[in-house]
Amino acid sequence: MLFSMMLVLAVTSCALELMIAAKVPIWRQLSGKYPLFNLINSLFLSFMMGIAFGAAGLVAMGAGVISTILSLPGYKILYWNYDSPSARARGGSQYRYYKANFITSWSRWRIALSDLSKLTYNFIRFITFPVWFTRAIFVKVNPYIAKFNRWLDRRRRRRAIRRALSHS
């Protein structure tokens, strides 16, 4: 129960921290640059949320540490979206730039996605080669096997009849 409370508090604290960092540039830049500042922010936010929701002590501090670990990729995404040189060249937000230019870039994405789907299909086809190849062989060979078995049954019946006639 306490561990699940710690995890929920950590995810909530991480989401709140990243929402604040998206709106406050100095917070985002300092937390992305200095891990100690990020740790202090995460611990403080988790502690404050823990007090607000009735968790205290080890649960709040554990949630702060987990929140710090969870927020590291979030700060990388925020850096890419707001603070990277390409984001500054595109007006300060990669998300808004790509959202505005989605129609013009969709044709290039469509080509890339069709190539990816062809590659995935061929990869799966290659991996499952033994299955579909043996199935294809058996589909072609089964009529000949059935024909051979009928011929063998007729031959055995004739021999059995000849033996029965010769012994009688």
Q: What is the pLDDT along the chain (168 residues), one digit of tens a residue?
A: 788 888 888 898 889 988 998 899 898 888 878 888 888 888 888 888 888 887 778 888 888 888 888 888 888 888 888 888 887 887 888 777 877 777 666 777 787 888 899 999 999 999 999 888 999 999 999 999 999 999 999 999 999 998 888 876
Together in a domain, 41 and 83 = yes
CA 1, CA 126: separation in Å to the nearest integer?
47
Global confidence as pTM: 0.56
Together in a domain, 83 and 154 = no
Together in a domain, 69 and 8 = yes
The C-alpha angle 16, 44, 3, rounded to 5 degrees, equals 75
Structure tokens belonging to residue 142: 């089964």
**Is the Cβ–Cβ distance between 89 and 97 less than 8 Å?**
no
Type of residue numbered 142: N
How many separate domains does the chain show? Answer: 2
Together in a domain, 81 and 13 = yes
Together in a domain, 94 and 120 = no
**Structural domain of residue 123, as residue ranges?**
113-167
